């Protein structure tokens, strides 16, 4: 049974990571070459995912169902964000473009950065799956990178022609987590 739960957990994590990799290559747009910050994020993600695979081969923790829940939530948020931005894909993280549209539907109605939320849920799932101190390095490091990327994006909006609309949007939608009133207004 332990081998089966480990295989299921590893498969679910790999499915998420593959979806995110697809997003970088096929969904997000770039105004030029891949930004250095995005290259660093991608390399760190790949390294941390390889470390997760190495750890998970030794067996998933007894909390593997929690990991599956986090992976499922991650993939659901990611798919909803892709669907909401299908016709107006955002640029890659750390791109320096000036924003010319503001997404406010789908998961963007509740959180300003649903892609980063999906990634954070994924890394939390990997940490729970391996249940080791080193496993928690991934969500800590990656969340710090996502906060930096999101903060840069927010500064771009604040200095763009969309600054007024973005200020009102920030008051309604949380950065990575929905604001309680936004959920009630739903």
Q: What is the pLDDT of residue 60?
A: 79
pLDDT score of 172 more than 80: yes
The values of phi and psi at residue 111, to 5°, are -135, 145
User: Euclidean distance between the first and final Cα of the chain, in Å?
Assistant: 41
Residue among 7, 125, 135, 132 at smallest CA distance from 59: 7
Q: What is the pLDDT of residue 1?
A: 61
Does residue 174 contact residue 167 with C-beta atoms inside 8 Å?
Answer: no
pLDDT band at 148; cut points 50, 70, 90: very high
pLDDT score of 175 more than 90: yes
Rounded-to-integer distance, Cα 174 and Cα 169, Å: 9
Single pTM value for the model? 0.94
What percent of the chain stands above pLDDT 70? 96
Each residue's pLDDT tens digit, 81-106 = 999 999 999 999 999 999 999 999 99
Rounded-to-integer distance, Cα 15 and Cα 75, Å: 8
Q: What is the pLDDT of residue 32?
A: 86
- Give the domain ranges of the chain: 2-185
Each residue's pLDDT tens digit, 27-85 = 999 888 999 999 999 999 999 999 999 999 888 788 999 999 999 999 999 999 999 99
pLDDT score of 184 more than 90: no
What percent of the chain stands above pLDDT 90? 82
Fold of 2-185: 1.20.120
């Amino acid at each position: 049974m332990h081998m089966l739960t480990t295989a299921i957990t590893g498969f679910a994590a790999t499915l998420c990571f593959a979806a995110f990799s697809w997003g970088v290559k096929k969904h997000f747009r770039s105004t030029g070459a891949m930004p250095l910050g995005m290259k660093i994020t991608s390399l760190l993600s790949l390294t941390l995912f390889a470390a997760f695979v190495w750890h998970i081969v030794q067996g998933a923790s007894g909390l593997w169902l929690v990991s599956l829940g986090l992976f499922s939530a991650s993939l659901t948020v990611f798919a909803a964000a892709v669907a909401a931005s299908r016709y107006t894909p955002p640029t890659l993280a750390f791109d320096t473009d000036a924003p010319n549209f503001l997404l406010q539907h789908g998961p963007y109605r509740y959180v300003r950065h649903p892609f980063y939320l999906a990634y954070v849920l994924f890394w939390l799932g990997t940490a729970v799956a391996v249940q080791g101190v080193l496993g928690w390095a991934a969500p800590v490091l990656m969340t710090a990178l996502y906060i930096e990327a999101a903060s840069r994006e927010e500064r771009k909006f604040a200095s763009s022609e969309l600054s007024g609309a973005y200020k009102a949007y920030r008051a309604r939608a949380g950065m990575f987590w929905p604001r309680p009133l936004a959920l009630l207004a739903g």
